[in-house]
């Protein structure tokens, strides 16, 4: 009888364990989806890089001439309304120019460039003209973007969560189950800002800059419980 009771007790424990595992498996049923949120806006910031290059027989003469031209360029940019805080030195360089065999230095080329940011895109074309008139012989840009990027990212995240919930609800409906609470949400690596084609600018006396639109995208992974 003692052996029978022992076997009966072991069987009861095994059944209880199996029931607990089944209940745990049933309670952990989830739906995991990806959500994407995209916010489109018109950029309100433009960034350019303006540079000057000068060549002279000696390194000192090249640097001196370059410094004078860059000083005039910065003064012209500030005179055009660019704040000193929005003008930043990007690169200073000095390079020897040699003959074809590299055995003799013929001259030196000095370079200096600044990054300029403006929040008036409508005037950014005239800023390019001012920079070139002041001596800039290197121009690159513009890099167009929104000034309130953090706010746009948060809006895109909200849209991504709503998209994930809609996707999960569609899956639940197709599977004939009821969608439950959010179990977890993970922010994925954000996509870079992509630039939509800008509209053609009308003819103007200054360099035209058309802002077009930019997109801010955020992606998440969300897991929902099955109720």
Mean predicted lDDT score pLDDT of the chain: 85
Question: In whole angstroms, what is the distance from residue 206 CA to residue 26 CA?
Answer: 69
Q: Mapped to the 3 state alphabet, what secondary structure does 92-155 carry?
A: EEEEEEECCCCCCEEEEEEEEEEEEEECCHHHHHHHHHHHHHCCCCEEEEEEEECCCHHHHHHH
Indicate if the pLDDT at residue 202 is higher than 60: no
Q: 94, 109 in Cβ contact below 8 A?
A: yes
Mean pLDDT of 29-40: 95
Look at the block and give the residue holding tokens 């690159």: 140
- List domains and CATH numbers for the chain: 27-43+147-196+210-227 (3.30.110.170), 45-145 (3.30.70.2970)
Q: What percent of the chain has pLDDT over 70?
A: 81
* pLDDT cut 90: percent of the chain above it: 64
Measured between alpha carbons, how far is 16 from 19 in angstroms, rounded to an integer? 5
How, if at all, do strands 179-187 and 214-226 pair? antiparallel
pLDDT value of residue 20: 42
Place 122 in a pLDDT band, splitting at 50, 70 and 90.
confident
Task: Indicate the range of 19-23, 109-113, 213-217 predicted with least confidence.
Answer: 19-23
Segment 50-93, tens digit of pLDDT = 999 999 999 999 999 999 999 999 999 999 999 999 999 999 99
pLDDT of 47: 93
The pLDDT of residue 194: 55
- Average pLDDT score over residue span 99-113: 94
In this predicted structure, what is the pLDDT of residue 13? 41
Query: How many CB atoms are closer than 10 A to CB 31?
Result: 21
Q: Terminal CA-to-CA distance of the chain, rounded, Å?
A: 46
What is the mean predicted confidence (pLDDT) over 190-207? 56
Mean pLDDT on 177-200: 75
Model confidence at 145, in pLDDT bands (50, 70, 90)? Answer: confident
Q: With bands split at pLDDT 50, 70 and 90, how would you rate the model's confidence at 191? A: low
The residue-averaged pLDDT of 117-144 equals: 91
Residue pointed to by tokens 């008036």: 120
- Supply the pTM of this predicted model: 0.65
Residue 192 has pLDDT above 90, yes or no: no
């Amino acid at each position: 009888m003692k052996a029978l009771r022992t076997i009966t007790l072991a069987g009861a424990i095994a059944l209880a364990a199996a029931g607990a595992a089944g209940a745990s498996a049933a309670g952990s049923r989830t739906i995991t989806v990806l959500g994407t949120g995209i916010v489109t806006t018109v950029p309100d910031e433009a960034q350019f890089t303006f540079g000057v290059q000068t060549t002279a027989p000696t390194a000192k003469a090249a640097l001196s001439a370059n410094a004078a031209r860059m000083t005039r360029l910065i003064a012209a940019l500030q005179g055009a309304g660019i704040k000193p805080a929005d003008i930043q030195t990007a690169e200073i360089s000095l390079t020897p120019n040699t003959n074809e065999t590299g055995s003799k230095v013929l001259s030196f080329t000095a370079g200096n460039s600044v990054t300029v940011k403006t929040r008036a895109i409508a005037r950014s074309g005239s800023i390019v003209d001012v920079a070139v008139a002041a001596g800039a012989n290197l121009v690159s840009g513009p890099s167009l973007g929104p000034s309130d990027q953090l706010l746009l990212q948060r809006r895109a995240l909200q849209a991504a969560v709503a998209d994930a919930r809609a996707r999960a609800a569609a899956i639940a409906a197709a599977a004939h189950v009821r969608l439950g609470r959010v179990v977890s949400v993970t922010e994925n690596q954000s996509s870079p800002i992509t630039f939509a084609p800008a509209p053609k600018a009308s003819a103007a006396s200054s360099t035209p800059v058309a802002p077009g639109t930019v997109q801010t995208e955020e992606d998440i992974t969300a897991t929902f419980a099955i109720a």
